[in-house]
Every structure is written in structure tokens, then in C-alpha cells.
Structure 1
């Protein structure tokens, strides 16, 4: 071997051999990881926007419905106050309790439903794992 070159020195440039293959595998794995992190980031941003939108519309709905319920309660109380005070207060109470129970049931249904958060990332990672393990 001229100039003291070893048999492996020709492969150290990444053009072939085991070292080059390992570098190429590492580069591929890093690119795959980079793509999955980008997908995760996009899904997280989409979920953040969805949650903020739901919170904004929910706050507006609560405010407007609360004002409507208060106005309805005042209307019932004024209309029935002279002759049926107890009935008026009972109807108002029943109305608020029924609306609260309905809102609680809707909230419980939303909490128990899966959000699908990161479903695409998890599916891609599962596919990558299956390809790497040969399953």
C-alpha cells in the first residue's frame, strides 16, 4: 500500500463500504425524524387553533345565552309576580337547572370523545416501525 494507506482509507469518504452505509443510514434516519417532528408540529398548531376557536365561540355563546336567560327570567318574574310569585320563581329555577344539566351533558360528551390529536403522526410512526421491523 503506497504512502502508508490502509485498506479502509478509500472508503472513509462515504463513497462506499460499511462506514459510508452507516453514514447514509444515519442521514436517512435523521431526515425521517425531522419529517415526523415537522408533522407533529403542524398537528400541534392545528390543535391549538381549534382549541382557541372553540374557546372563543364557547365564551361568546355563554355570554349571550346567559344574558338571554337573565332576560327571560326577568320577563317571567314580571309577568307572573302579582298573582303567582312562587310559580314564577319555580319556573325560573327549573329553567336554569334544566339548562345547566343540558350543558353538563354536552360537556361530558365532548370530554369523553377522542380528539384524534396527533393521529397522523402516530400513523406515520406506526408505518415506519412496521417497515423497519418488516412486519
Structure 2
């Protein structure tokens, strides 16, 4: 006996396919989210470790340079040498703080996930307009 699909069966099958597609798309987006989060975490940890070591080495180097400058000018202009060295260090510190602030304002977290959600929304809006 041939199987006749009535309107209810076709509607049920179509809605099941739509729900399955939505679940698959959601799972893909969730996996992308998790992968990006793990990459960002490892990048951040590496960046923090390297920045900490670099700051420690630079601090030692600057301390030794300041000591050298003060010893060189100890007899004649020790206060001026210490003042100029301090001014240069403060200016460099402010410049670096400004650069860190600019880097922190740049969005990079979950960039691919957000762009994928944007593409999904555009596809849905195009599909809605054609329907």
C-alpha cells in the first residue's frame, strides 16, 4: 500500500529538519566559541608570562643604568643626573601605559564567533525577505 504523507506529516518532517539544522548550527557555533576561548586563554597566559619577565629584566637594566649615570656625575651634577633620569623614566612609563590602553581597547575576544553570528543573522534576514 503506498504511503501518503498528509499535510501534518510533511509539516512535522519539515519542522524536524529545521530543528535539527538549528541544533547542528548551534553546536558548531558553540564549538567555535570554546576553541576561540581556549586560544585566547593560552595567548593571554603566554603574554602575561613574557611581559612579566620582560618587565623584570628591563627594571634591572634601568636600575643599573641609573646607577651608572649617577656615579658618572657624582662629583659635579648628581642631582641633575638623577632628575633627568627620573623624568625620562616617568615619560617612558606614561608612553607605555598609553600604548597598553590602546591595545586593551582593541576588541579581539571571540571575533570569529561574533562574525559567524552576524553572518547567520544576515542569512536569516535575507531568507525572511525572500519568503
Smaller-chain TM-score range? Answer: 0.7 to 0.9
Q: Does structure 1 residue 78 correspond to structure 2 residue 68?
A: no
Alpha-carbon deviation of 1:72? Answer: 0.6
Deviations 1:48-84 (A, max 9, x none): 1221122111111111110011001111111111222
Instruction: Tell me the TM-score normalized by structure 1.
Output: 0.79
Given that 1:11 and 1:20 are in contact with CA atoms closer than 8 Å, whether structure 2 keeps it comes out as no
Aligned residues, how many?
A: 124
- The separation in 1 between residues aligned to 2:111 and 2:82, in whole angstroms, is 49
Given that 1:43 and 1:118 are in contact with CA atoms closer than 8 Å, whether structure 2 keeps it comes out as yes
- The separation in 1 between residues aligned to 2:45 and 2:124, in whole angstroms, is 38
Q: Does structure 1 residue 128 correspond to structure 2 residue 117?
A: no
- The separation in 1 between residues aligned to 2:24 and 2:111, in whole angstroms, is 20
User: Which residue is equivalent to 1:22?
Assistant: 15
Alpha-carbon deviation of 1:11? Answer: 9.4
Which 5+ residue runs of structure 1 have no aligned equivalent?
A: 1-6
CA RMSD of aligned residues (A): 2.4
- The separation in 1 between residues aligned to 2:124 and 2:90, in whole angstroms, is 57
Kindly indicate whether structure 1 or structure 2 has the higher relative contact order, using CA contacts under 8 Å at least 6 residues apart: 2
Instruction: Tell me the TM-score normalized by structure 2.
Output: 0.81
User: Which residue is equivalent to 1:47?
Assistant: 40
Which 5+ residue runs of structure 2 have no aligned equivalent?
A: none
- The separation in 1 between residues aligned to 2:108 and 2:76, in whole angstroms, is 55
SS of the counterpart of 1:22?
helix
The structure with the largest alpha-carbon Rg is: 1
